[in-house]
Amino acid sequence: MKHLLSTQDLSRANAIRILDTAEEMSAVGDREVKKLPALRGRTVVNLFFEDSTRTRISFEAAAKRLSADVINFAAKGSSVSKGESLKDTAQTLSAMGADAVVIRHWASGAPHRLAATDWIDAGVINAGDGTHEHPTQALLDAFTMRRHWAKLAGTESEGANLKGMRVAIAGDVLHSRVARSNVWLLRTLGAEVTLVAPPTLLPVGVEKWPCAVSYNLDDTLAQGVDAMMMLRVQGERMNASYFPSTREYSRRWGFDDNRLRTLDRLGMKDTIIMHPGPMNRGLEISAAAADSPRSTVLAQVRNGVSVRMAALYLLLSGDTREPATTPVLATAGTTPSTKEAN
Amino acid sequence: MAPSTGTYLIRGAAVLGGEPADLLIRDGIIAERGAGLSDDGATVIDAAGLVALPGMVDVHTHLREPGREDAETVETGTRAAALGGYTAVHAMANSTPVADTAGVVEQVYSLGKAAGWVDVRPVGAVTVGLAGEQLAELGAMADSRARVRMFSDDGICVHDPVLMRRALEYVKAFDGVVAQHAQEPRLTAGAQMNEGEVSAVLGLAGWPAVAEESIIARDVLLAQHVGSRLHVCHVSTAGSVEIIRWAKQRGINVTAEVTPHHLLLTDELVRSYDPVYKVNPPLRTDADVQALRAGLADGTIDVVGTDHAPHPSEHKECEWAQAAMGMTGLETALSVVQHTMIETGLMTWADFARVTSAAPAAIGRLADQGRPLEAGEPANIVLVDPAARWTVDPFRMATMGRNSPFKGRELPGKVVATFYLGHPTVLDGELNTPHPSAAQPAGAA
């Protein structure tokens, strides 16, 4: 794996390999010394053109647990007129010897530009680009769902997929890189995805996506859902007439207390509620839903570090083989067996 | 009277792709057309296997001067034009300062005369500063030495319906035409690419077809209401073709233009996020491409206009959203039209001459351009080798812009020679010399 730019071009074997590697990485987090020497001497640059403390510290923790040197580069001047160009920034990082660049950018496609040009030859991880993709978020979501799905089936997570799992994703799909990355990845892993949104917040062309589309959250819930993912909705969208008011949005498309009770009433005792964060409590998700035992919000954050460790490891280990069973930690100097670590 | 331009005998060229004939050029005009003409005192050009066409006329060129001489100058842009087979170009008004006064259009006109590669016809802005608020002094530009007949805020739509109506009415006083950049601004705020399947996946803000079509529909109705002449720039959607076809059937005085890139490229190319494919209006779908080709073939679309838009490399070597919109086109237009329209059997070389020369000259009211290749006519001629094939290399072009979306493509057709008012500006596929009148004091030619 040279880069991780999107989930759309991620094969099933590679996706499962990342998730399996993340399971092994997760074991590290359970140990007293949460550190591996795997990436000692390698330099990871967090290049953030957009504020995102959560994603940045998640990548930072992941890189540090693998003993990489981490440089945080907050590129504020994000327009050509105000600051340095992406090309100059990339060449500067290249000259400093960056081995991997984790890039968050407000412009869709910016990570692709880094990967496709000769500005820098480091591995590129897309940490969210505009309204395009956020592949590590989708991978951590899939990781969280897979653990849940495997547990229900009474099997191991490793090697498993999401076949048959019904996932609903509700909210501002139009502006959501999380939704896009999840649609492609969850489909690749065998899940059945339904997008739920007001028609104004679905992109023209969504009918060609490999998922179902619904304008009615209650109908979707009534049909049965194993994982309910709520997307952040920005109140400002109201000003652009995407919806009339935040209250109307919340009533029709928010996961409120009534809908939380609906899950119980319809007997969906194992349905989980997910949110990529940060949450707008009271808008797209009620406090009771966010804090309920069904909520996986904090597990998602925790799993994010494991998934990002896996992505960095696979990118920088230079291992392009496909098998998911490679004992990936063997090269790290320590040889902890996954099973023992668990 | 133009200074002496010498005597040339073009031997055995297929005129408009038809039967071979000789063309004798003397003193700026085609002195004779026939078979076996005497080469006495003439420089002979063996044109066996070549097609002779009237010099091409571009209704839509961005020469960038004054103001952005780092992107293009009148000199470099018109060298590119001559190499591309053009003998006249219309220089769009979005320079800095904007070509919205007699002074600026006369400056551009004079720069064109001084360069001497093609006839440079400035386009005047419709509104002051392209701001869409107040009419520019259209009459002063029409009466200036530049004799402006085409007016456009190209790059920006004249979206205020009242202002558009007034502009259409006003230019009737001097037989002018308003060339509209049809783009409803509210529907395209922040737009980055065609809105559809591809934009949905790429997460780039969409530029919907309806934003073009709704303005064209409004404008043809306005043109009908006030009895004016309307030209629609760079038509890019199947729906626009339908509306223009309908308008023409109703007898509305509308002409339309399509760019070479919209005849060949689609929004699938945007998946690379390479800003060389960023253009306004955006690349559309294959269905649109096919409709545009059909529209050009059946006369619904009157002309091919390049929308040649050179940009310095830093405006393309960046994120997609940061990149400037526009593509170069002068040196590839002939080849792309041959590839998309002639090799597909949709058009003949005679049709090519209509859409690249006669019709654009008529829209711009250029009396000595777009004429038949007959005795007594001005010698604006391009010789094309239709069998040649070449691979596009932007770094070998005369334009300063390296932003060709055809980079690396193999295309048919090479311009072998261009005669501008009797003088070869291009010979053997290379730039020759400017027209001798370029050396004359300004205003003498």
CB count within 10 Å of CB A114 equals: 28
Nearest CA in chain A to B271: A109
Q: Hey, what are A207's tokens?
A: 């009918």
Residue A340 has pLDDT above 50, yes or no: no
**pLDDT for the residue A77:** 52
Both B99 and B231 in a single domain?
yes
Interface of B with A in 73-102 (CB under 8 A): none
Percentage of residues of chain A with pLDDT beyond 70? 90
Known binding positions of B: 60, 62-64, 94, 154, 181, 234, 280, 307, 311
Both A259 and A170 in a single domain?
yes
Which tens digit of pLDDT belongs to each residue from A287-301? 999 999 999 999 999
In a domain, A3, yes or no: no
Mutate to test the interface with A, among B188, B194, B199, B201 (most CBs of A within 10 A): B201
Cβ distance of B200 and A203 shorter than 8 Å: yes
Region A188-206: mean pLDDT is 97
d(C-alpha A136, C-alpha A308), whole Å: 7
Percentage of residues of chain A with pLDDT beyond 90? 83
Both B39 and B127 in a single domain?
no
- Look up residue B355 and give its DSSP letter: I
Residue A66 has pLDDT above 90, yes or no: yes
Among A114, A73, A129, A112, residue whose Cα is nearest residue A96: A73
Both B13 and B82 in a single domain?
no
Q: Is B307 a catalytic residue?
A: yes
Residues facing B46 on adjacent strands: B11
Which member of B206, B272, B322 has the closest CB to residue A79? B322
In a domain, B359, yes or no: yes
In a domain, B38, yes or no: yes
Which tens digit of pLDDT belongs to each residue from B195-240? 999 999 999 999 999 999 999 999 999 999 999 999 999 999 999 9
Judge contact between B317 and A90, C-beta under 8 A. Answer: no
Per-residue confidence at A6, pLDDT binned at 50, 70, 90? very high
**pLDDT for the residue A83:** 66
Region A56-75: mean pLDDT is 95
As for how many domains chain A has, the answer is: 2
**pLDDT for the residue A70:** 97
Distance from CA of B114 to the nearest CA of A (A): 34
Residue B1 has pLDDT above 90, yes or no: no
Cβ distance of A108 and B199 shorter than 8 Å: no
Both A65 and A173 in a single domain?
no
Q: How many helices (H) and strands (E) does chain A have?
A: 12, 9
Cβ distance of B322 and A206 shorter than 8 Å: no
Of the candidates B309, B329, B364, which is a domain's last residue? B364
Judge contact between B312 and B72, C-beta under 8 A. Answer: no
Residue B387 has pLDDT above 80, yes or no: yes
d(C-alpha A226, C-alpha B437), whole Å: 80
d(C-alpha B381, C-alpha B14), whole Å: 12
Contacts of B211 in chain A (CB under 8 A): none
In a domain, A2, yes or no: no
Q: What angle do CA A98, A103, A108 make, to 5 degrees?
A: 140
**pLDDT for the residue A330:** 39
3-state secondary structure of A158: coil
Any A CB within 8 A of B66 CB: no
The torsion defined by the Cα of B407, B411, B413 and B415, in degrees rounded to 10, comes to 0
**pLDDT for the residue B219:** 98
In a domain, B2, yes or no: no
- Look up residue A51 and give its DSSP letter: -
Which member of B200, B317, B320 has the closest CB to residue A205? B200
Residue B2 has pLDDT above 80, yes or no: no
Contacts of A177 in chain B (CB under 8 A): 203
Known binding positions of B for substrate: 62-64, 94, 280, 311
**pLDDT for the residue B225:** 98
Any A CB within 8 A of B197 CB: yes
In a domain, A4, yes or no: no
Cβ distance of B203 and A180 shorter than 8 Å: yes
The distance from CA A189 to its chain's CA centroid, rounded to whole angstroms, is 14
Residue A168 has pLDDT above 80, yes or no: yes
Both A251 and A174 in a single domain?
yes
Both A45 and A58 in a single domain?
yes
Phi, psi (deg, nearest 5) at residue A168: -110, 135
Both B21 and B67 in a single domain?
no
CB count within 10 Å of CB B145 equals: 13
Both A71 and A148 in a single domain?
no
Residue B33 has pLDDT above 80, yes or no: yes
CB count within 10 Å of CB B171 equals: 24
Residue A333 has pLDDT above 70, yes or no: no
Burial tier of A324 (Cβ tally within 10 Å: 0-12, 13-18, 19+): middle
Both B423 and B289 in a single domain?
no
Q: What angle do CA B254, B258, B264 make, to 5 degrees?
A: 155
Region A106-130: mean pLDDT is 96
In Å, the largest CA–CA distance within chain A is 60
Share the mean pLDDT of chain B. Answer: 96
In a domain, B61, yes or no: yes
Burial tier of A81 (Cβ tally within 10 Å: 0-12, 13-18, 19+): exposed
**pLDDT for the residue A328:** 43
**pLDDT for the residue A237:** 80
Of the candidates B343, B364, B385, which is a domain's last residue? B364
**pLDDT for the residue B440:** 62
Which tens digit of pLDDT belongs to each residue from A241-261? 999 999 999 999 999 999 999
In a domain, B371, yes or no: no
Residue B271 has pLDDT above 90, yes or no: yes
CB count within 10 Å of CB A215 equals: 14
**pLDDT for the residue A31:** 87
* Residues of chain A contacting B, Cβ within 8 Å: 8, 79-80, 85-87, 105-110, 112-113, 116-117, 129-133, 177, 180, 203-206, 208-209
Both A120 and A144 in a single domain?
no
Which member of A86, A133, A180 has the closest CB to residue B319? A86
In a domain, B239, yes or no: yes
Return the minimum-mean-pLDDT range out of A40-54, A328-342, B88-102, B405-419: A328-342
Both A146 and A128 in a single domain?
no
CB count within 10 Å of CB B144 equals: 19
Looking at residue A186, its amino acid is L
Residue predicted with more confidence, A51 or A236: A51
Of the candidates B335, B364, B393, which is a domain's last residue? B364
In a domain, A142, yes or no: yes
Among B390, B355, B362, B348, residue whose Cα is nearest residue B15: B348
**pLDDT for the residue A82:** 55
A308's enclosing H/E stretch is helix A297-316
**pLDDT for the residue A331:** 38
Place of tokens 């809908």: A259
In a domain, A6, yes or no: no
3-state secondary structure of B315: helix
First-to-last C-alpha distance (Å) of chain B: 7
d(C-alpha A246, C-alpha A228), whole Å: 20
The residues, any chain, with a CB within 8 Å of residue A188's CB and separated by 6 or more, are A7, A10, A11, A12, A15
Contacts of A210 in chain B (CB under 8 A): none
Residue B146 has pLDDT above 80, yes or no: yes
Interface of B with A in 242-281 (CB under 8 A): 272-274
Judge contact between B61 and B90, C-beta under 8 A. Answer: yes
Q: Which domain holds residue B155?
A: 55-364
CATH number for the domain harbouring residue B256: 3.20.20.140
Residue B6 has pLDDT above 60, yes or no: yes
Instruction: Report strand pairing: B254-258 vs B303-304.
Output: parallel
Distance from CA of B314 to the nearest CA of A (A): 9
3-state secondary structure of A230: strand
Both B214 and B347 in a single domain?
yes
In a domain, A224, yes or no: yes
Residue A26 has pLDDT above 90, yes or no: yes
**pLDDT for the residue B4:** 72
Q: Which domain holds residue A103?
A: 12-134+303-341
Residue A167 φ/ψ region, left for φ over 0, alpha for ψ in the -120 to 50 degree band, beta for the rest: beta
The torsion defined by the Cα of A56, A61, A63 and A64, in degrees rounded to 10, comes to 140
Any A CB within 8 A of B202 CB: yes
Both A142 and A285 in a single domain?
yes
Judge contact between A176 and A44, C-beta under 8 A. Answer: no
Both B215 and B155 in a single domain?
yes
As for how many domains chain B has, the answer is: 2
**pLDDT for the residue A317:** 87
Mutate to test the interface with B, among A8, A82, A113 (most CBs of B within 10 A): A113
**pLDDT for the residue A236:** 76
The torsion defined by the Cα of A239, A194, A204 and A15, in degrees rounded to 10, comes to 110
Both B358 and B389 in a single domain?
no
Residue predicted with more confidence, A326 or A279: A279
d(C-alpha B259, C-alpha B303), whole Å: 9
Residue B168 has pLDDT above 70, yes or no: yes
Both B241 and B283 in a single domain?
yes
Both B332 and B416 in a single domain?
no
Residue predicted with more confidence, B180 or A323: B180
Distance from CA of B311 to the nearest CA of A (A): 15
Both A307 and A220 in a single domain?
no
d(C-alpha B139, C-alpha B131), whole Å: 18
Both A74 and A214 in a single domain?
no
CATH number for the domain harbouring residue A197: 3.40.50.1370
In a domain, A1, yes or no: no
d(C-alpha A118, C-alpha A90), whole Å: 9
Q: Is A134 labeled as ligand-binding?
A: yes
CATH number for the domain harbouring residue B405: 2.30.40.10
Both B12 and B63 in a single domain?
no
Contacts of A6 in chain B (CB under 8 A): none
Which tens digit of pLDDT belongs to each residue from A93-106? 999 999 999 999 99
Both A152 and A291 in a single domain?
yes
Q: Is A223 labeled as ligand-binding?
A: no
Both A118 and A195 in a single domain?
no
In a domain, B290, yes or no: yes
Q: How far is CA A327 from CA A37, A312, A319, A323, A330, in A?
A: 15, 16, 12, 10, 6
Judge contact between B124 and B136, C-beta under 8 A. Answer: yes
Contacts of A132 in chain B (CB under 8 A): 202-204
**pLDDT for the residue A320:** 52
Both B278 and B360 in a single domain?
yes
**pLDDT for the residue B141:** 98
Q: Catalytic pick from B22, B119, B288, B307?
A: B307
Judge contact between A294 and A271, C-beta under 8 A. Answer: yes
In a domain, B26, yes or no: yes
